[in-house]
Chains A and B, each alone.
Chain A
Amino acid sequence: MASCGIAAGGGPVFDRLHELLDSREDVEIKKVGCIGFCYMEPLVEVEKDGVCVTYGEVDSALAEEIVRKHVDQGEILKEHVVLHNADEAPENPRMENQVRIVLRNTGLIDPENIDEYIARDGYKGLEKAIREMTPMDVIQEILDSGLRGRGGAGFPTGLKWKFAHLAKNDKKYFVCNADEGDPGAFMDRSVLEGDPHSVLEGMAIGAYAIGADEGIIYCRAEYPLAIKHLNTALDQAREKGFLGENIMGTGFNFDIHIKEGAGAFVCGEETAMIASIEGKRGMPRPRPPFPANSGIFGKPTNINNVETLANIAWIITHGSKEFSKYGIGRSRGTKVFALAGKLNKGGLAEVPMGMPLRDVIYEVGGGIPDNKKFKAVQLGGPSGGCLPEELLDTPVDYESINATGAIMGSGGMVVMDESTCIVDVAKFFLSFVQKESCGKCPFCRIGTKRMLEILERISEGRGTLEDLDLLAELAVQIKDGSLCGLGQTAPNPVLTTLKYFRDEYLAHIEERKCPAKVCTTLIHYSIDPEKCIGCTKCARNCPVEAISGEIKKPHVINDDICVRCGKCIEVCPVGAVTVE
């Protein structure tokens, strides 16, 4: 019952199950978080004597059948089974291909019940850290694991903690960056909604390591369910003595409170976040001084991403070697990816670092729907880039992805097919950056606007070849002239698309054509008079009344009024509408 499950229709299914089973002693109904199989939601799992059967695309009617046949008579409804832990099932490979460390509990426990977290080694990491290890022992363990920041920058977590630990001050802050703002990323949301205690425990261990007594979770306000579950988790953790004064009787004091964001992407940048926490406009600051030495109200501050923190307790309980055995090169451990876009099996998947991009998209993601052709995969959000088919064998690790000109980023992967226009995508990212730029640095504030104007010109068929040189020149200047990561990486989508999809730009400029048939000024809808049967369906459904014609006579679309919404194509019974 995470946001996606509810949005897919899980609410009525849950209610129906409650109606049928509430009064029964022999059956327990549990709400759990997101298991990452979003393409099959709503999902219902039936567990008995250790055998777990998961049904997909469940509605109220199927829920009733599940109760009647499976629960009451032990008869499994094979056609609807998607996962089975003791037998074959169509989606089992998707589960078996994963190594679920961050997602170890998500989808399996009730996030509003701390006892379920505790039953799965919950808070054992904290106990081991504060009872058996010194702060430097903890830091060394995290260093040895090779864990790097999962928010996108990939800075070694152990090293960040070490700096904060070494800063001399009796007041330090430990912050969790839950501002997941990358469009296309929802890994953090799932962990916050489905396993909030993993984050709290990670924070407590980190606070112990650096010597902080106050923790802050900066969570974006667009995640109300995550905030609700975090608040419940905080209350429960305090009740059990895992947070607060004298934790587990060791004299270690640490408590956490939540600060809600207010809709500013730039606040995901650490110095902007610090400004926001201080109650100011979220504008970045120059570094040095680094937050580890001078952060919130001038005190040493350590900020880590949600996914980074969700790894911590597991690493402490299992040991750094168990974590670092996964991965390649300098990218150890696993990474959670949010797969979306033109994909059959969108959702979350946690895989070892170094898996080839091709496998993530086709093996785990199920490939492109409707047999359409793969065009590009967007990695790293607005700071990243679009990679073409030729680069699909690139392993997904920090260094390999950086070498392509994109970045791994927070893990959002948006797949695009032949119906996506790359120029439109570059324009989309620039308009995003334009909206979210805080305005402090002229190159970011004005430079991205100029880049956006050029892209708008190109998408409207008014671009020139000199525009491409101008884009490249502006890109370099914006990178150099920006104080924070937002501006420094804003040109990346344009640079990667210019590098790998130059042909598409040229088509827009030299031929005034949009090959993907997206850019509205460059495409024209028309009705083939030979095919049209004059049924008037198109004219009646056109939202702007752009189509005229008499019954049983061929209809005509007025190009000047047409908004290219595609409704006429959808309703025409004979396929008479074409797009050129």
Chain B
Amino acid sequence: MTPLTTEGLEDLEARMKPLVTRYKGRKGITIPLLADVQKELGYIAEEAVDYLSRELDLPAAELFGVATFYAMFRLQPEGKYVVRVCRGTACHVQGSALIGEQIQRHFNVKDGETTEDGLFTLQYVACLGCCSLAPVMMVGNEVHGRLTPDKAIQVLETYRAKA
């Protein structure tokens, strides 16, 4: 996902309008609203928040407050694939720290960052709930288990080859 340029702004209003229709006047909708923004734009763009704040009559500070609280919301454009390396107890005990380190070294990317080619965003997450297959990582919505540092790299290289 490339970051929005000023040309993308006209486009932005058109893309955000369906969200205004969907959520106007409803209570407790900040999380689904922001999730939809992220689905559409790839991240929570500041310009989008400003626009929605005006249209839905919600303080921008409130929207940013929610966006910065929850780990799933990205304030920077995310890569084609979000790589979630599980750092839960079972995965930790089975060596997930080493897997994370190897991915960082191999793809030259840190936790929370996106690779230069825009392909992978690396995220360490708390627990994916596939503990008996530890260590585990999710690439997009696909779960990969029983990993070793080498296997993890192999899996990611397969995605890279497909892209």
The 0/1 profile, CB within 8 Å of A marked 1, for residues 80-113 of chain B is: 0000100111111110001001100110000000
C-alpha spacing A338/B106, complex, angstroms: 33
B42-71 interface with A by 8 A CB criterion: 62, 65-66, 69-71
Verify A260–B35 contact, CB threshold 8 A.
yes
A262-276 interface with B by 8 A CB criterion: 262-265, 276
C-alpha spacing A4/B142, complex, angstroms: 10
Q: A507 an interface residue at 8 Å Cβ cutoff?
A: no
Verify A341–B93 contact, CB threshold 8 A.
yes
Q: A378 an interface residue at 8 Å Cβ cutoff?
A: yes
B1-54 interface with A by 8 A CB criterion: 27-32, 34-35
C-alpha spacing A543/B62, complex, angstroms: 45
Q: B125 an interface residue at 8 Å Cβ cutoff?
A: yes
Q: How large is the interface on A (under 10, 10 to 19, 20 to 34, 35 or more residues)?
A: 35 or more
The 0/1 profile, CB within 8 Å of B marked 1, for residues 489-511 of chain A is: 00000000000000000000000
Q: Which residues on B sit within 8 Å (CB–CB) of A420? A: 93
- Per a CB cutoff under 8 Å, which of B27, B89, B98 touches A378? B89
Verify A543–B127 contact, CB threshold 8 A.
no
Verify B145–A180 contact, CB threshold 8 A.
no
C-alpha spacing A1/B105, complex, angstroms: 34
Q: Which residues on A sit within 8 Å (CB–CB) of B75? A: none
A409-438 interface with B by 8 A CB criterion: 412, 414, 416, 420, 425, 428-429, 432, 435-436, 438
Q: A189-B129, A260-B35, A279-B30 are in contact. Are A340 and B71 (CB under 8 A)?
A: no
Q: Which residues on B sit within 8 Å (CB–CB) of A281? A: 65-66, 69
Verify B132–A182 contact, CB threshold 8 A.
no
Q: A260-B32, A263-B125 are in contact. Are A563 and B101 (CB under 8 A)?
A: yes
C-alpha spacing A191/B9, complex, angstroms: 44
C-alpha spacing A365/B66, complex, angstroms: 41
- Per a CB cutoff under 8 Å, which of A259, A297, A436 touches B126? A436
C-alpha spacing A416/B146, complex, angstroms: 17
Q: Which residues on B sit within 8 Å (CB–CB) of A282? A: 69-70
Instruction: Tell me which of B92, B128, B131, B146 has the highest count of chain A C-beta atoms within 10 A of its own C-beta.
Output: B131
Q: How large is the interface on B (under 10, 10 to 19, 20 to 34, 35 or more residues)?
A: 35 or more
Q: A224 an interface residue at 8 Å Cβ cutoff?
A: yes
Verify B72–A262 contact, CB threshold 8 A.
yes
Q: B156 an interface residue at 8 Å Cβ cutoff?
A: no
Verify A264–B71 contact, CB threshold 8 A.
yes
Q: A181 an interface residue at 8 Å Cβ cutoff?
A: yes
Chain B residue at minimum C-beta to C-beta distance from A282: B69
Q: Which residues on A sit within 8 Å (CB–CB) of B29? A: 279
The 0/1 profile, CB within 8 Å of B marked 1, for residues 364-386 of chain A is: 00000000000000100100000
Q: B136 an interface residue at 8 Å Cβ cutoff?
A: yes
Instruction: Tell me which of A223, A414, A428 has the highest count of chain B C-beta atoms within 10 A of its own C-beta.
Output: A414
Chain A residue at minimum C-beta to C-beta distance from B86: A183
Q: B158 an interface residue at 8 Å Cβ cutoff?
A: no
Q: Which residues on B sit within 8 Å (CB–CB) of A21? A: none
Verify B125–A222 contact, CB threshold 8 A.
yes
Verify A7–B133 contact, CB threshold 8 A.
yes
Closest beta carbon of chain A to B134's beta carbon, Å: 6
C-alpha spacing A381/B87, complex, angstroms: 13
C-alpha spacing A300/B34, complex, angstroms: 27
Q: A549 an interface residue at 8 Å Cβ cutoff?
A: no
Q: Which residues on B sit within 8 Å (CB–CB) of A296? A: 28
Chain B residue at minimum C-beta to C-beta distance from A348: B132
Q: Which residues on A sit within 8 Å (CB–CB) of B91? A: 183
Chain B residue at minimum C-beta to C-beta distance from A381: B89
Q: A38 an interface residue at 8 Å Cβ cutoff?
A: yes
Q: A185-B127, A279-B66 are in contact. Are A342 and B93 (CB under 8 A)?
A: yes
Verify A347–B132 contact, CB threshold 8 A.
yes
Verify A4–B145 contact, CB threshold 8 A.
yes
**Please, could you name 5 A-B residue pairs with CB atoms under 8 Å apart, sorted by A?**
A7-B144, A183-B92, A338-B131, A341-B131, A346-B90
Q: Which 5 A-B pairs have the closest CB atoms?
A: A183-B88, A263-B71, A262-B70, A38-B132, A346-B132
Known: A222-B138, A414-B90. 19 other contacts (CB 8 A): A7-B130, A8-B145, A41-B133, A180-B129, A181-B127, A183-B92, A186-B129, A186-B131, A261-B31, A263-B71, A263-B73, A279-B30, A297-B28, A412-B90, A425-B89, A425-B92, A432-B87, A438-B69, A565-B98
Spell out A's residues near B (CB within 8 Å).
3-4, 6-8, 38-39, 41, 180-186, 188-189, 221-224, 259-265, 276-282, 296-297, 338-342, 346-347, 378, 381, 412, 414, 416, 420, 425, 428-429, 432, 435-436, 438, 543-544, 563, 565-567
